[in-house]
Amino acid sequence: MAVESLQRELGRAVRAIGADPDTRVGLERARDPEHGDWASNVALTLARPLRRKPREIAEEIVARLDTDAAGVRSVEVAGPGFINFRLAPEALIGGLAEIVDADLAFGRSEDGQGEPVMVEFVSANPTGPLHIGHGRQAALGDAIAELLAWTGWKVSREFYYNDAGEQINRLARSVAARRAQLDSPSAPFPEDGYHGDYVSEIASRFPGGPAASEELRAFAVSELRAEQDRDLSEFRVRFDRYYLESSLYTDGRVQDTIRRLREAGRVYEQGGALWLRTTAFGDDKDRVMVRSNGEPTYFLADVAYHLAKWERGFRRAINVQGSDHHGTTARVRAGLQALGLPRGYPEYVLHQMVTVLRGGQEVKFSKRAGDYVTLRELFTEVGVDVARYFFLMRRAEAQLVFDLDLALDQSDKNPVYKIQYAHARMHAIFRRAGLPMSDVAAGTVALLRQPAEVELVKVLRRLPETLAEAAARHAPHLLCKYLEEAAAAVNAWYHTGNRDESLRVLGVEQDLSRARLLLARAAAIVLRNGLSVLGITAPERMEHAETLT
């Protein structure tokens, strides 16, 4: 690739002027086209160690560059001492064949080298329908997992079921109370019970009698798990494994974790409880592992669970959780460090809350769940593609405002449709031409000289680096931004044909038409691959409301 040879050549010139051989030679895409294609600030960073003026250093580096070797058309020193490079047009256009040859694999890389990584997400308690916060987490976790898969990691998606705690007892009491009310309506309902209509629904579906409390509890949990599974499945999120908290107790992992922490000498007794000295690893207070009544804490199970991840061979584990859990991250990591695991294990992606807006007003309630909006209600109204995209288009750490009015808009104002339309337009060209896309695998790309064409090629080639950065930073929103930019470039190119027929793909001289078809195919590949990473469909033809009715 031209950029890598440019980087090497630049490094050679930097050493040639007597700079430290370890100097980091920055080379990045110029933000402003005025500054060429690539720019280096190396002369500025060398100014201090060399005690010389940046521009002088830049001039000297440029004088020693062999630009022919790097496919560079021109070099200039600009501003305070930047070195700007313009690539030869052939070097830019040459990337088109790469996209089409790779096709479904375009954008994939091998950074992960097939190493295993676990992404744990959703992990909702089986006590009610999934809400929009879970939706954000489902979309985020799935996209992060897919980004890692695209960058060469062997990814496992896991859901941790907190099926062992007090909240399950609460659920059981709530359903039992509703069941009793079927026989005598004045029967009491627990103060801390779950109030949503779904509790009554489960109670009325329960086939057993009023006294069967164990069966009722199991029934309620399995009903809610089944409902969550249906929601997630329709939201197009699948897991490789569901890990039950209860299994940590039955298979001895919890007891084993206590034993090992004791052996590590990080444990002490106080007030009849067993404590772990997490403050030794940066926590702000020590934590109870076993209560004075002999019951282990949730925290202990959490440590046991993450130890199990490590011992199952996952040297990387990423937990996607709501930011309301941020208090637990320090103590879980501390517990794991006490057992000899590395400091940053696991990695956390903590996302902020979601609010739903309709007509500028916040929507808070749901018919079934009572006090929150469910994921199902949301994706039923706006569609899975739109819901997933809206959950992903903001950084996880920022609060998310889900604008229903924009989500329901089916024009290009809605970023999801904008990208999908751009993709469908490329297919429309091929339909009009009567050609399958796969028939166009080569062309005289040197004929692509129009500004909109060159610009589009430049954008399309950035997919691999965008995926790599989004994966490294656990940040799917970077891919959303990129796809919107790519769609804008596709639309801009496509519409140049509106004003000037000589710029169209079809109806122009054959070699030129062929080259433009190749560009259209490359555009479709980039948009489709990018959307697939986000779990969003790339339709070849868009149907819209007016024509459906």
Partner RNA sequence: GCGCCAGUAGCUCAGCUGGAUAGAGCAACGGCCUUCUAAGCCGUAGGUCAUAGGUUCGAGUCCUAUCUGGCGCGCCA
Residues 53-82 that bind RNA (CB under 7 A): 54, 78-80, 82
What are the residues whose beta carbons fall under 8 Å from the beta carbon of 269, sequence distance 6 or more? 275
Task: Tell the smallest beta-carbon distance from residue 185 to RNA (Å).
Answer: 31
Closest CA to 117 of 309, 349, 389, 257: 309
Task: Tell the smallest beta-carbon distance from residue 432 to RNA (Å).
Answer: 4
Would you call 423 helix, strand, or coil by DSSP? helix
Q: Taking contact as CB under 7 A, which single stretch among the options 103-111, 296-304, 306-314, 362-370 is the one that binds RNA?
A: 296-304
- Cis bond upstream, residue 346 (ω within 30): yes
**For RNA, which residue of 23, 181, 246, 323 counts as binding (CB under 7 A)?**
323
Q: Taking contact as CB under 7 A, which single stretch among the options 29-37, 132-140, 218-226, 255-263 is the one that binds RNA?
A: 29-37
Mark residues 175-214: x for contact with RNA by CB under 7 A, - for none. Answer: ----------------------------------------
Task: Tell the smallest beta-carbon distance from residue 523 to RNA (Å).
Answer: 11
Mark residues 329-358: x for contact with RNA by CB under 7 A, - for none. Answer: ---------------------x-xx-----
b/e map 71-99, b = 16+ CB within 10 Å: bbeebebeeebbbbbbbbeebbbbbbeeb
Strands 316-322 and 116-120, bridge-based pairing: parallel
Q: How many residues bind RNA (CB under 7 A)?
A: 101
Q: Taking contact as CB under 7 A, which single stretch among the options 96-104, 196-204, 214-222, 491-499 is the one that binds RNA?
A: 491-499
Strands 347-351 and 316-322, bridge-based pairing: parallel
Residue 436 backbone zone (phi > 0: left; psi -120 to 50: alpha; other: beta) = beta
Task: Tell the smallest beta-carbon distance from residue 422 to RNA (Å).
Answer: 8
Sheet with strand 316-322: strands edge to edge: 241-244, 154-161, 116-120, 316-322, 347-351
Please tell me what DSSP assigns to residue 366.
Answer: B
For tokens 């830049």, the residue is: 58
Residues 127-156 that bind RNA (CB under 7 A): none
Mark residues 227-256: x for contact with RNA by CB under 7 A, - for none. Answer: ------------------x-----------
The answer to whether 421 contacts RNA (rule: CB under 7 A) is yes
The answer to whether 527 contacts RNA (rule: CB under 7 A) is no
Task: Tell the smallest beta-carbon distance from residue 31 to RNA (Å).
Answer: 6
Closest CA to 416 of 533, 543, 526, 536: 536
Residue type, 15: R
The answer to whether 288 contacts RNA (rule: CB under 7 A) is yes
Task: Tell the smallest beta-carbon distance from residue 184 to RNA (Å).
Answer: 30
Would you call 149 helix, strand, or coil by DSSP? helix
Task: Tell the smallest beta-carbon distance from residue 181 to RNA (Å).
Answer: 26
**For RNA, which residue of 25, 35, 171, 459 counts as binding (CB under 7 A)?**
35
